[in-house]
Chain A
C-alpha cells in the first residue's frame, strides 16, 4: 500500500496541568490515503476538532507523530509549519473564515501569494479554482454579498488551490441548509475522487455517510470504525 497523505501515530494532546488537566486525545493512530474521504464522528468533547487542528498543524500534540506527505509536522519550526499549511493542507471551517475586505478571488489567491507565487498567476489559479466549485462568475464579489453556500464554496476553492493534497473540513456544512450542505459535500467528495485525501469532522451521520470510512471517537480514543478499513489503518491505542 502507498504511504498515506496524513498519518497520526499515537497522538496525545493534554490541555492544562494538575487537577484541571484534560486529556483531549489519548493515543490516537489514524491515516488518510490519497483518493479517500474519512469522516470523524463523535459527541461534543470527544476530541474530533482537536484531532483536526493537530492534523492541520494549527495545534501541536503533547506526544506522538503527525506526518503530512512524508513530513513530520511536530519536528518543524513555526515557519516551516505555516508553509506546509499553505502548500499541502487545505482547511475548511464551519464559519467560512473568509477575509471580508477581500473579494472571492483575492481570498482564494492569498495563500498562493503568501507562498511567493506571482500575483498574476495566483489570481489565475484562484479564478480556475472558483470555476471548479461552480462560482466563477462571483470572483469579484465580497463575502458579505454572498450567501452562506457561496461563501463556503469560496472557502473550498481556497482550501484546494495550488493542488493541495490534504483537505481538512471541520463541520463545513454546519451553517448551511440541507441541500446547500449536500452540494458542499459533493465538492469535497469530487476533490477526493480526483486524488486528494480528505478528513471531514461532523456530528451528522447523514454527512459522514459521504465518506469512504467513518471513524467514531469518544473521550479522545477511536472506539469504532466502519468502511473498507484494513487493520493497518486503525491501531488500537496502547493499553494504559
Chain B
C-alpha cells in the first residue's frame, strides 16, 4: 500500500503533524491497516526530501507541522487518476496452500477447504456486524462513508474467497467421481482378476 500517497492526500486537506495524520488515516480506513507513528514520520522525512511536503514550523506543543507543496499536489492528482497496478498478483497464501494440498500426498484437502471456509465466514460475519454498527448506508459524514466503503471492500473480498473455496470443493468432488467412473485402478484389477481362475482350479 502506498503510505506516501495516502499521507500526501491527507495533507492536501490541511497542514498536519504526524499523530494527526495517523488519526485521520485511521478514521477513514478503520484500524484495518494500522500505521505506526514511526512509519508516518519516516514517510514525512522522505516526502520532504523529495520536495512533495515541507515542514512549516511547530505548534505550541512542539509538534512539527507539515504542509503539501505544489509538486506534492501534482503527485496526489496523478495517484488518484492512475489505476492501481495489477501486473503481478500479490502472493496469495491460500491459493498456494490449496495448490500444494491437492498435489502433496496424504493431505485431506476437503478439511483444508472446510476449515478455511469456516474461518473466512467468521471474518465475514465480523465485518457485517461492524457494518451494521456503522449504519453506513446513509452515512452523512464523509469519513463514516469512507469507513463503510472500506468495510464493503473487505466483505466482497471475503465473499469472493468463500465462492472460490466452494468452487474448489465442487471441482474436487467432480474429479473424485470422474476417477471412480474410470473404473478400478490397476492394483485393484490385479487383486480382483485371479479370483475366478482360483475358483476354477478348485473345481
| Interface residue ranges, A against B (CB under 8 Å) | 43, 179, 182-183, 186, 189, 204-206, 208-211, 214, 216, 223-224, 226-227
Q: CA–CA, A205 to B170, complex, Å? A: 16
Query: In the complex the two chains form, is A208's CB within 8 Å of B121's CB?
Result: yes
What are 19 of the A-B contact pairs (CB < 8 Å)?
Answer: A43-B170, A179-B137, A183-B137, A186-B132, A204-B159, A205-B120, A205-B124, A205-B162, A205-B163, A206-B124, A209-B124, A209-B127, A209-B155, A210-B132, A211-B125, A224-B114, A224-B118, A226-B118, A227-B122
Q: What is the size, in residues, of chain B's interface with A at 8 Å between Cβ atoms?
A: 20
Known: A182-B137, A186-B132, A206-B155. A227 touches B166 (CB 8 A): no
Contact with A along B157-176 (1 / 0, CB 8 A): 01100110010001000000
In the assembled complex, the CB of A41 is this many whole angstroms from the nearest CB of chain B, namely: 8
Contact with A along B77-96 (1 / 0, CB 8 A): 00000000000000000000
For window 89-142 of chain B, which residues contact chain A by CB distance below 8 Å?
114, 117-118, 120-122, 124-125, 127-128, 132, 137
In the assembled complex, the CB of A177 is this many whole angstroms from the nearest CB of chain B, namely: 13
Which B residues are CB-close (under 8 A) to A183? 137
Q: CA–CA, A54 to B122, complex, Å? A: 28
Query: In the complex the two chains form, is B163's CB within 8 Å of A226's CB?
Result: no
Query: In the complex the two chains form, is B156's CB within 8 Å of A206's CB?
Result: yes
Which B residues are CB-close (under 8 A) to A209? 121, 124-125, 127-128, 155, 158
Which A residues are CB-close (under 8 A) to B163? 205
Known: A206-B124, A210-B128. A224 touches B159 (CB 8 A): no
Q: What 9 A-B pairs are tightest by C-beta distance, nearest first?
A: A205-B162, A209-B128, A209-B124, A206-B159, A209-B125, A226-B121, A226-B118, A205-B159, A226-B122
Which A residues are CB-close (under 8 A) to B170? 43
Which A residues are CB-close (under 8 A) to B137? 179, 182-183
Q: Is the interface of B mostly helix, strand, loop or mixed?
A: helix
In the assembled complex, the CB of A14 is this many whole angstroms from the nearest CB of chain B, namely: 22
Smallest CB-CB separation from A211: which chain B residue?
Answer: B125
Query: In the complex the two chains form, is B156's CB within 8 Å of A214's CB?
Result: no
Which A residues are CB-close (under 8 A) to B127? 209
Smallest CB-CB separation from B113: which chain A residue?
Answer: A224
In the assembled complex, the CB of B125 is this many whole angstroms from the nearest CB of chain A, namely: 5
In the assembled complex, the CB of B25 is this many whole angstroms from the nearest CB of chain A, namely: 26
Which B residues are CB-close (under 8 A) to A227? 122, 125
If A43-B170, A204-B159 are given as contacts, then 12 extra A-B residue pairs at C-beta distance below 8 Å, sorted by A number, are A186-B132, A205-B120, A205-B124, A205-B159, A206-B128, A206-B155, A209-B125, A209-B127, A209-B158, A224-B117, A224-B118, A227-B122
Of B125, B128, B159, B166, which one neighbours A226 at CB under 8 angstroms?
B125
Known: A43-B170, A226-B122. A205 touches B158 (CB 8 A): yes
Query: In the complex the two chains form, is A189's CB within 8 Å of B125's CB?
Result: no
Smallest CB-CB separation from A225: which chain B residue?
Answer: B118
Which B residues are CB-close (under 8 A) to A186? 132
Smallest CB-CB separation from B135: which chain A residue?
Answer: A186
Which B residues are CB-close (under 8 A) to A205? 120-121, 124, 158-159, 162-163
Which B residues are CB-close (under 8 A) to A211? 125
Which A residues are CB-close (under 8 A) to B156? 206
Q: CA–CA, A205 to B167, complex, Å? A: 13
Query: In the complex the two chains form, is B132's CB within 8 Å of A214's CB?
Result: no
Q: CA–CA, A43 to B171, complex, Å? A: 13
Q: CA–CA, A227 to B124, complex, Å? A: 11
